[in-house]
Amino acid sequence: MPTTADGPGDLHSDDVAAIDELRDIWQRLRCELGKVIVGQDDVIEQLAISLFARGHALLMGVPGLAKTLLVSRLAETMSLHFSRIQFTPDLMPMDITGTDILQETQAGRREFEFVKGPVFANIVLADEINRAPSKTQAAMLEAMQEHRVTVIGRTYQLAPPFFVLATQNPIEQEGTYPLPEAQLDRFMFLINVDYPSRNEEVEIARTTTGGDLPPLDTVIHANDVLRFQQLVRRVPVPQHIYEFSVDLVRRTRPSSDGAPEWLRPLVSWGAGPRAVQYLILGARSRAALAGSYMTRLEDVLAVARPVLSHRVLTTFNAESEGISSTDVIQRLIDELQTELNG
């Protein structure tokens, strides 16, 4: 397997210093969140990776796993404006974007004034996004893709950084409007929020049934978040990392020449080119958070499942055999690693 030693490489000395700074900030940020969030280390890391990679994330988990608390406190440690939108069947696009309201001026004239909706924030929690009808979901996804909203023919830019975290409840599907695959593809990560361990659950009960949770210190400001988002895109990526990422994504497509025979009856559709982009960006972001001056294969492997799991659509045969998209991805990773090691 080709290897590249961790070192400054082609990075400018200022970038090397900035990566060291980001690593230290990331350590402090995790310590701050640890004051109120018990466990969920992988979830916190994946949220940070997607934020600094300038991507949005979809959190999948049952109610009561502190998803809202985690997102709001993450915004608190970053001194970012946080907004929560509770998606419901009667939610309209204007409830998200805002609308023009007729106001009376000091001169006595009546004029339309645009009142911003909750999407005008730095971190937006779209809670149970699959409960709203498709036109409302589309308004949210347009803001995610374009970083702007259009209301009655006028366009309004969303101030950076802009990061959307949407949640879905995996066990309750009645009265929902599932996101189509084309819209799911707009999310960089699908993050599974699982139940805590027994010891973590004991600690949760101990810390949350007493007094109020402590306030968190601000670790990073909005301008620094933007600076580090640009830094992440300058982290060097060796050629073999690009090739591994492309090969992995191409093997998820049953119609591709590189797809293994066992995959064809299990997968209806594989991941598109955007998956390769997010694999590289996610790997770059993870490397920078770890203080590495070079993207490594282990960084790609760490982000492969959250990047690909919602982009690989399994067949009925796979579902009947209890084979999930995550299972397919893991087998592809294992096979590629075996080929590289061989």
User: In Å, how far from its chain's centre is CA 198?
Assistant: 27
Most confident of 106-120, 167-181, 185-199: 185-199
State if pTM tops 0.85: yes
What's the CA gap between 234 and 56, in Å, rounded? Answer: 20
Residues 137 and 126 sit within 8 Å (Cβ to Cβ): no
Q: What amino acid is encoded at 328 in this protein? A: V
What pLDDT, in 10s, does the model give residues 45-77?
A: 999 999 999 999 999 877 777 788 888 888 888
Nearest 5°: CA angle at 165, between 159 and 171?
160
User: CA 48 → CA 20, 65, 174, 197, distances in Å?
Assistant: 16, 18, 32, 22
pLDDT band at 138 (very low <50, low <70, confident <90, very high): confident
> Is the pLDDT score of 173 beyond 70?
no
What pLDDT, in 10s, does the model give residues 70-86?
A: 888 888 888 889 999 99
Task: Specify the pLDDT at position 3.
Answer: 38
Which CATH number does 13-341 carry? 3.40.50.300
Single out the residue of 40, 3, 14, 27 nearest to residue 291, CA to CA: 27
Q: Which residues contact 329 (CB under 8 A, 6 or more apart)?
A: 252, 304, 305, 308, 309, 312
Residues 112 and 103 sit within 8 Å (Cβ to Cβ): yes
> Mean pLDDT of all residues in the chain?
86
Nearest 5°: CA angle at 3, between 30 and 242?
80
Residues 262 and 314 sit within 8 Å (Cβ to Cβ): no
Cβ neighbourhood burial of 51 (10 Å; 0-12, 13-18, 19+): buried
Single out the residue of 310, 190, 308 nearest to residue 251, CA to CA: 308
Backbone angles phi, psi at 283, to 5 degrees: -65, -40
Task: Specify the pLDDT at position 15.
Answer: 87
Task: Specify the pLDDT at position 189.
Answer: 94
The domains of the chain are located at 13-341
What pLDDT, in 10s, does the model give residues 203-255?
A: 888 877 766 777 888 899 999 999 999 999 999 999 999 999 999 999 999 98
Token readout for 9 is: 């490489």
Unique residue bearing structure tokens 């960084």:
299
Task: Specify the pLDDT at position 1.
Answer: 37
